[in-house]
């Protein structure tokens, strides 16, 4: 009789009651003990041997795991925020608590399932990590876990539980019904700007919260699409140090995409990405981004010399405020981009703030709502409401001051008879506006039919300017490909998303704009 190992494993049956094969083994061995080795029960012996071998293996592994288990409980004792961490076993068959409905996504690091909590009926997203985790320490030190467990904001997707069972790690997130890509892809006409304002306001609130706590997302994008399109130039040029301003760049690109239903910088490669940026916002100069020129020279890269276009040509139906915000967010120099807190003060978001009725303009007439009317009266009185921001930026015009100017520029530019404008404005007719899918879903060549960039001789030159000589730079997130900018840059792997639910109106009370922050990085 295999008494020794069994005695050991019985002990662990108590500690880990939901390990089913141990329970089974326990039952079979009891049977053998009761009936001795009666011949008609001899057939049970091989089965018992097999189960006992498993029990032995389990017992040995438990002996190794026990210290980790104790560590985790000590950790829980001293770190209350980690109450979301659960050893699957101690939760008593956590799978029994959730109904897995269907797989909704397959990321680099895990598969995501839609599931329902049987007890509460709550719909959740369960992400099963592909890599095995052999200790709790490994799990607790994961960037995703460390950062998300500290975030508690209505516009940041909630990490509800972290479960480790049989060395497999599961994250239970609140479920997001929709993402920006899904919203845009079947969209037959442009979104109302009030909707875009509402969504972005919420995302900026989430970002503000996150940035103020020393974290940034660094992989904001509408969905599972090319991260490159939203990647800030300092990252493309492999700056050693980058900050939360990379999120602000991405938000500029996303806002523009929402306003026009076309990606703003749809680069087919890294070199092409920089080319696209130059062709939209104009090449950087010593005045606009000296540091960027230095970064480029370090990797032996030469910017194409392009004048850029007025963003209002690319989004002719966007308000001057919206265009101005995109312009500010997509500044070459990160220090010229507003912070999330500053962006929330931008005139584009004025109507998102509640103004008590007593302070609202008495003359609010016509079709404008009182808030919009008040905003309008601020404009006509030429009061830049947030002068502190405006004066702190030497090169940047104050938000309020530029509005009239931008409107004039916009109407002039739309009438200009250039190939760029003709094509851009023509393709932006509201009734024809359709989302241009990312290359993963449609080939870049077919995409170019809809997204026309001025092609000059420099484009090939830029692509060919992918020369060696640059140093390898550590990327903040592993994985990826060889850079076409010459050095072995590791691409910032896609990691996380911007989520929002459609149909929300009141930004302060509803929760559509969520940051799915699985790729949070700590600010340097
Ligand atoms: N909380 C959620 N609610 C709804 N769907 C989600 C949620 N989290 C993830 N998904 C879906 O699962 C997919 C994979 O998400 P996941 O976070 O694993 O990886 P990823 O960040 O998209 O990709 P990668 O890991 O390759 O960067 C997403 O594209 C999304 O469609």
pLDDT digits (tens, 9 = 90+) for 330-346: 999 999 999 999 999 99
Q: Is 128 annotated as a binding residue?
A: yes
Terminal Cα-to-Cα distance of the chain (whole angstroms):
62
Instruction: Tell me how far apart the alpha carbons of residues 450 and 349 are, in angstroms, rounded to a whole number.
Output: 30
Say what the pLDDT of residue 432 is: 42
Q: Active site residue: 219, 247, 272, 333, which one?
A: 219
**How many angstroms is it from 352 CA to the middle of ligand 1?**
29
Pocket of ligand 1 (CB under 6 A): 104-105, 107-110, 112, 125, 127, 157, 173, 175-176, 224, 493-497, 516, 518
**How many angstroms is it from 400 CA to the middle of ligand 1?**
38
Say what the pLDDT of residue 393 is: 33
Say what the pLDDT of residue 287 is: 94
**How many angstroms is it from 496 CA to the middle of ligand 1?**
7
Both tokens of residue 61?
């592994």
For this structure, is 219 an active site residue? yes
Q: Which atom of ligand 1 is nearest to the CA of 518?
A: 17
Q: Whose CA is nearest to atom 1 of ligand 1?
A: 175
Say what the pLDDT of residue 442 is: 35
pLDDT digits (tens, 9 = 90+) for 289-330: 999 999 999 999 999 999 999 999 999 999 999 999 999 999
Q: Whose CA is nearest to atom 15 of ligand 1?
A: 107
Residue ranges of the chain whose pLDDT lies below 70: 1-94, 225-226, 353-524
Are the C-beta atoms of 238 and 489 separated by less than 8 Å? Answer: yes
Q: Which atom of ligand 1 is nearest to the CA of 108?
A: 26
Maximum separation of any 2 CA atoms in the chain, in Å = 102
Give the sign of the dihedral formed by CA 20, CA 23, CA 29, CA 30. negative
**How many angstroms is it from 348 CA to the middle of ligand 1?**
30
Are the C-beta atoms of 336 and 284 separated by less than 8 Å? Answer: no
Q: Which atom of ligand 1 is nearest to the CA of 127?
A: 18
Instruction: Tell me how far apart the alpha carbons of residues 361 and 234 are, in angstroms, rounded to a whole number.
Output: 44
- 3-class state of residue 130 by DSSP: strand
Instruction: Tell me how far apart the alpha carbons of residues 199 and 205 are, in angstroms, rounded to a whole number.
Output: 10
Distinct helix (H) and strand (E) counts, the chain = 20, 10
């Amino acid at each position: 009789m295999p008494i020794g190992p069994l005695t050991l494993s019985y002990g662990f049956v108590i500690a880990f009651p939901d390990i089913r094969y141990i329970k089974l083994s326990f039952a079979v061995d009891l049977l053998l003990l009761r009936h001795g080795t009666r011949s008609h029960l001899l057939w049970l012996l091989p089965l018992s041997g097999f189960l006992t071998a498993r029990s032995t293996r389990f017992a040995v592994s438990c002996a190794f795991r026990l210290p980790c288990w104790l560590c985790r409980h000590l950790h829980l004792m001293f770190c209350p925020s980690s109450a979301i961490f659960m050893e699957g076993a101690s939760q008593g068959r956590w799978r029994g608590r959730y109904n897995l409905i269907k797989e909704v996504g397959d990321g680099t690091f895990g598969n995501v399932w839609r599931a329902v909590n049987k007890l509460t009926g709550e719909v959740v997203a369960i992400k099963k990590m592909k890599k095995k985790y052999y200790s709790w320490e490994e799990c607790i030190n994961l960037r995703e876990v460390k950062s998300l467990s500290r975030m508690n904001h209505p516009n940041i997707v909630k990490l509800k539980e972290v479960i480790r069972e049989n060395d497999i790690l599961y994250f239970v997130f609140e479920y997001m019904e929709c993402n920006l890509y899904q919203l845009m892809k079947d969209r037959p006409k442009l979104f109302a700007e009030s909707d875009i304002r509402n969504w972005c306001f919420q995302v900026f609130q989430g970002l503000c919260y996150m940035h103020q706590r020393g974290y940034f997302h660094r992989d904001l994008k509408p969905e599972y699409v090319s991260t490159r399109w939203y990647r800030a130039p300092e990252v493309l040029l492999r700056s050693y140090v980058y900050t939360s301003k990379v999120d602000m760049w991405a938000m500029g690109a996303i806002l523009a995409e929402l306003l026009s239903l076309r990606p703003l910088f749809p680069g087919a490669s890294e070199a092409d990405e920089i080319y696209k940026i130059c062709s939209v916002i104009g090449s950087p100069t010593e005045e606009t981004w000296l540091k960027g020129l230095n970064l480029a020279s370090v990797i032996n890269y030469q910017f194409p010399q392009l004048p850029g276009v007025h963003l209002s040509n690319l989004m002719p139906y966007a308000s001057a405020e919206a265009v101005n915000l995109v312009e500010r967010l997509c500044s070459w120099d990160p220090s010229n981009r507003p912070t999330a807190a500053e962006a929330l003060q931008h005139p584009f978001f004025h109507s998102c703030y509640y103004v008590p009725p007593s302070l609202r303009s008495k003359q609010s007439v016509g079709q404008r709502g009182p808030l919009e009317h008040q905003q309008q009266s601020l404009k006509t009185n030429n009061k830049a409401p947030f002068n502190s921001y405006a004066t702190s930026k030497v090169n940047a015009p104050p938000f309020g001051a530029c509005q009239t100017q931008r409107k004039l520029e916009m109407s002039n530019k739309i009438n200009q008879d250039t190939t760029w404008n003709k094509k851009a404005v023509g393709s932006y007719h509201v009734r024809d506006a359709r989302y241009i899918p990312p290359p993963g879903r449609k080939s870049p060549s077919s995409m170019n039919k809809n997204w026309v960039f001025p092609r000059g001789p420099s484009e090939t030159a830029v692509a060919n300017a992918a020369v060696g000589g640059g140093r390898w730079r550590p990327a903040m997130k592993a994985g990826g490909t060889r850079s076409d900018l010459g050095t072995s840059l590791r691409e910032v792997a896609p990691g996380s998303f911007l989520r929002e639910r459609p149909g929300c109106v009141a930004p302060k009370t509803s929760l559509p704009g969520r940051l799915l922050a699985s790729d949070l990085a700590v600010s340097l």
